[in-house]
Amino acid sequence: MWVYLLTAVFLLAIGWLIRDRQKIQDVRDKCVLITGCDTGFGNLLAKHLDRKGFRVLAGCLTQKGVDTLQRSNSSRLKAVLLDVTDYSSIQKAADWVQAEVGEKGLWGLVNNAGRAIPIGPTEWMKMEDYYKVLNVNLLGLMEVTLTFLPLVKKARGRVVNMASIMGRIAFAGGGYCLSKCGVESFSDSLRRDMHYFGVRVCIIEPGFFKTALTNIECIENDLQRLWDRLTPEVRESYGQKYFEKYVKVQRFSMHALCGSDLSKVTNCIEHALTARHPRTRYAVGWDAKLFWIPLSYMPTILGDFMLAVLLPKPSQSVH
């Protein structure tokens, strides 16, 4: 019996690998719009897809990002100013993209733009801190998707949304984990709705990688800003040692967990855009696969215990 079972598992695995490696034919006439191309994943992805032969439309927040990308790549890559938090900026970019793609439509939309800070204990936050992150990571992503969806639908193309492994489990307070959880939910409903029209929706779930979002100096400076604005009563309830240990935990996470090979993420995005049968989710990074995903499936009490080992306790803790 075990022989038949192992044989069946082996054949299923071989079948999945063959199916997973099937690619679409010609990419030279396919246009892909990527947001957040100034630095990090978006910048690397734009250059990578350009070399692969795609017509890349790169959205950048700054004019410097636009100029740098267009100078250093082929004529197939074109860049445009795109602020995902600004409705008028999105509409201008939509008109430009419509003129570029014509009747063929937009094969790929990669929602990559994002920000991480402010992060920190929930009590340290104000609503404006949540808005800063949600407006980019979630609401901006939704606005861009709904604006460009008709063009993607016309091409029967792909929507690739940058979530995070932190969308499965919240490691810190603030808008980041909240926004990525929202991206997961929005993508799930969009995937089911668009399936009938031949549009595929994929979610990228990176672990910790060394990008502008994980710059430890920026994170430490922002934590200091949050700490300084707390009332004396709240600061006393946590204690100076809590703040110092919390900063050390963030520093440790950035140094110990962050991967430096960003191509692991861009390769997954390329697969989502070029595979005949793209995966629904792409978990990327050793920490995502070996720590965060298993932790997200554990009983809550066990997951809380493991995170409590990492995080400091306030001075006035009752536990």
The CA angle 238-135-65, to the nearest 5 degrees, is 110
Q: What tokens does 184 get?
A: 């997961």
Per the structure, the count of domains in the chain is: 1
pLDDT at 6: 74
Domain assignment of residue 228, yes or no? no
Contact predicate 163/210, CB 8 Å: no
pTM of the model: 0.92
Q: How confident is the model over 81-92, as a mean pLDDT?
A: 97
Active-site entry in 130, 176, 246, 282 = 176
pLDDT at site 4: 67
In a domain, 251, yes or no: no
- What single DSSP character describes residue 207? -
Decide if 240 is inside a domain: no
Residue ranges making up the domain that contains 72: 27-213+260-299
CB 97 within 8 A of CB 148: yes
The percentage of residues in the chain with a pLDDT greater than 70, rounded to a whole number, is 98
The tokens for 304 are 């809380």
Give the integer Cα–Cα distance in Å for 287 and 55.
Answer: 33
pLDDT, mean over the chain: 92
Question: Per-residue pLDDT for 307 more than 90?
Answer: no
132: pLDDT strictly greater than 90: yes
Q: CA-to-CA distance for 85 and 189, rounded, in angstroms?
A: 22
Of the given ranges (21-30, 33-42, 57-66, 215-224), which has the lowest mean pLDDT? 21-30
Percent of the chain with pLDDT over 90: 73
Q: Please state which of the ranges 83-87, 307-311, 313-317 shows the lowest mean pLDDT.
A: 313-317
The string of DSSP letters for 146-195 reads HHHHHHHHHHT-EEEEE--GGGTS--SSBHHHHHHHHHHHHHHHHHHHHG
Instruction: List pLDDT tens digits, range 279-292.
Output: 999 999 999 999 99
Using an 8 Å Cβ cutoff, are 187 and 203 in contact? yes
Whether residue 129 is contained in a domain is answered as: yes
The pLDDT-based confidence of 319 (bands split at 50, 70, 90) is: low
Confidence of residue 92 (pLDDT cuts 50, 70, 90): very high
Answer yes or no: are the C-beta atoms of 35 and 111 closer than 8 Å. yes
Q: Is 94 a member of any domain?
A: yes
Neighbours of 10 (CB within 10 A): 10
CATH classification of the domain holding 155: 3.40.50.720
48/83 Cα distance (integer angstroms): 22
Q: Please indicate, yes or no, if residue 316 is contained in any of the structural domains.
A: no
Q: What is the mean pLDDT of residues 89-106?
A: 95
Is 176 one of the catalytic residues? yes
> Are the C-beta atoms of 280 and 216 separated by less than 8 Å?
no
Is the residue at 313 inside a domain?
A: no
Helices 40-52 and 263-274, packing angle to 10 deg: 50
Report the range of poorest mean pLDDT among 54-63, 67-76, 114-123, 162-171: 67-76
Q: What is the pLDDT of residues 170-220, one digit of tens each?
A: 888 999 999 999 999 999 999 999 999 999 999 999 999 988 877 888 999
Q: What Cα–Cα distance (Å) separates residue 178 from each residue in 52, 191, 232, 265?
A: 34, 20, 28, 21
In this prediction, residue 189 carries a pLDDT of 97
- Predicted confidence at residue 171, as pLDDT, reads 85
Q: What average pLDDT does range 302-311 have in this prediction?
A: 87
Q: Half-sphere exposure (CA, 13 Å, Cβ side) for 255? A: 7
Cα-only R_g, the chain: 21
